Structure 1
């Protein structure tokens, strides 16, 4: 049975513990104790969270679990010698070592990210790169995998990373079942941007928001101004004016960004050929999709797909 060693320290950010629910729900979905979770700290006993309440922990000891995960904190601070020493040993004794959010700083401090790709919360990514120049920081990823070292972006992205760990252990269908049980809309792929298109556009009115949600759910449609205006219950002229005022973009540009986001997720999942992805996301053909990727990402879709395939291969091995 894979055992999870979840490392905490004084002031750990409490939301990071949400990742543990993924392993709990995997046990429920598989109807057997697939994972055994141990919450550990350097000395054991009660450890205070960022919200001020304590959780009970067991001491590190000399045993190492299959997967060792260190959590992060709201304020990045130097780690104890004991925590760093335990992580260095875990890097060889555990099958996988992971850091949630600013947990990447702890891994970097232990020297485990030297020469590796890693991510962290977007607000700390530049700081991570400055402090640890030997780390290849991927500042706009949900999670990164390099060899047996996994890192995630913000605390909620720890759930996405945990789902990927479950998928790595028990397959995609089990991970999807766990996500459904947790009412997670979609397990985000590792390379997906930390910023969703809907969040970036920040529509102020319910009508524009309704049109964008309609677009996201109907990407195979043409999604003309007239179609979006009807979804927003506005005239096409009113809709175009209000949309640009609220988002700073034209409806066509916003729709293209939604299509790109959806296409990138499908590429990272690796289950569909490019023609199907182009059709399902409304690009109609591969060439139109390729031009859109070059405009936005500066890379063709094939490069992004190969990168995702390489990441999956690293995760397996």
Structure 2
């Protein structure tokens, strides 16, 4: 099947790395399952924002199974020819995808109307303002809505590409591709673009103090009154300041922090789910499960299962490698081996 990468002057080099997923998929399958092509409006050499120049083919009405639009650090309006090509591609192609700010290009062609989409969180608000009929989620790695696929920041395009490979050839092929690329098997599309434990980014010491208190006490009830007390503010002052500095309510932030902590425990320990739910402040496993699905898009059991599969695969791979001998062992072995005549 033909995979077309639509590029343009000053596009991102990182976005082009997505093509490696399909290249390695061909290696894994031992056949040319994907015919990778780089396309541009006029064809010929295209210079990326990093100065790399590479050859492209001119866009045409030829058959493309999946079209992937590259992103750019500074999205610009597309030409009428590109917009016309994308409108036709939506009808002809099985899938149309965009990496990072490539979503802006899809939006100019009207392909985001009524769709759930994502992009890099820095550009999400602008994308929503420019395309009010789209439903822009600024906290997802990638989203698939019908034949439209969109991803967050550039590296998230690799997760999207692995998901496309998985849809085409199954999870085993996608895992093998990820392993050859020395990647963790693709992150779920529902996964957050950034860690809640690290990225709330309050501006004042008082709100930071409240967050530090919450991190240390996730296993306890964390009411607004308790957090406000830690910040030395009234509950009303605290709620207002917290939302102004973090962009979300204290309750939503605490839930996300609990989910993040519980996810780490699910991946790195063998504790029962009930125990993890109590340790991270969920009243019971049912509430934790609902929070996982709401924030991560997967239940806790799926998170643990994927982590165990990855660990098992890594151990198997390590077991297949020859053990490196220490210098002392090497010297002993050398003295025992006869010298060739």
TM-score normalised by the chain length of structure 1: 0.71
String of CA shifts for 1:204-256, please: whole Å, max 9, x gaps: xxxxxxxxxxxxxxxxxxxxxxxxxxxxxxxxxxxxxxxx8996653453983
Residue 309 (structure 2) aligns with:
none
In 1, the alpha carbon distance for the partners of 2:214 and 2:291 equals: 23
User: Which residue number corresponds to residue 76 of structure 2?
Assistant: 77
Instruction: Give the gaps of 5 or more residues in structure 2.
Output: 202-208, 219-253, 300-341
Q: Separation in 2 of the partners of 1:123 and 1:189?
A: 20
Give the number of equivalent residue pairs: 252
How much has 1:54 moved relative to structure 2? 1.1
Q: Determine if the alignment matches structure 1 residue 128 to structure 2 residue 127.
A: yes
The structure whose RCO (Cα within 8 Å, separation 6+) is larger is 1
CA contact (8 A) 2:141 2:190 kept: yes
The one of 258, 261, 269 aligned to 1:256: 258
| Deviation string, structure 1 residues 70-98 (Cα, Å, up to 9, x no partner) | 01110011011111111111101000000
Moved more, 284-293 or 34-43: 284-293
Is contact 2:174-2:185 (8 Å) kept? Answer: no
Distance in 2 (alpha carbons) for counterparts of 1:292 and 1:157: 26
Q: In structure 2, the residue corresponding to 1:250 is in which secondary structure?
A: helix
Moved >6 Å (runs of 4+): none
Indicate if the aligned counterparts of 1:259 and 1:283 stay in contact, CA closer than 8 A.
Answer: no
Give 1:282's aligned residue.
276
Q: CA deviation at 1:172?
A: 0.6
Aligned 8 A contact 1:263 1:278 in 2: no
Q: 1:248 & 1:155 partners in 2: Cα distance?
A: 34
The secondary structure found in structure 2 opposite 1:123 is coil
**RMSD value, Cα:** 3.2
- In structure 2, what is the equivalent of residue 40 of structure 1? 39
Q: 2:95 maps to which residue?
A: 96
Specify whether residues 110 and 278 from structure 1 end up closer, same or farther in structure 2 by C-alpha distance, changes over 3 A only.
farther
Equivalent residue number for residue 192 of structure 2:
193
Report the alpha carbon displacement of residue 61 of structure 1 after superposing the two structures with TM. 1.7
TM-score, normalisation: structure 2: 0.66
Q: Distance in 1 between the 2:58 and 2:37 partners? A: 10
In structure 2, do the counterparts of structure 1 residues 201 and 278 end up closer, same or farther at CA, with 3 Å as the change threshold?
Answer: farther
In 2, the alpha carbon distance for the partners of 1:281 and 1:37 equals 48
With over 3 angstroms needed to count, the CA separation of the structure-2 counterparts of 1:161 and 1:302, relative to structure 1, is: closer
Q: Determine which structure has more spread, i.e. the larger CA radius of gyration.
A: 2
Match of 1:54 in 2: 53
The answer to whether the 8 A contact 2:142-2:151 is kept is: yes
Matched residues in 1 for 2:277 and 2:83: separation? 48
Question: Where do 1:1-317 residues align within 5 Å?
Answer: 2-197=1-196, 199-200=198-199, 249-253=214-218, 256-261=258-263, 279=273, 282-283=276-277, 288-292=284-288, 300-301=291-292
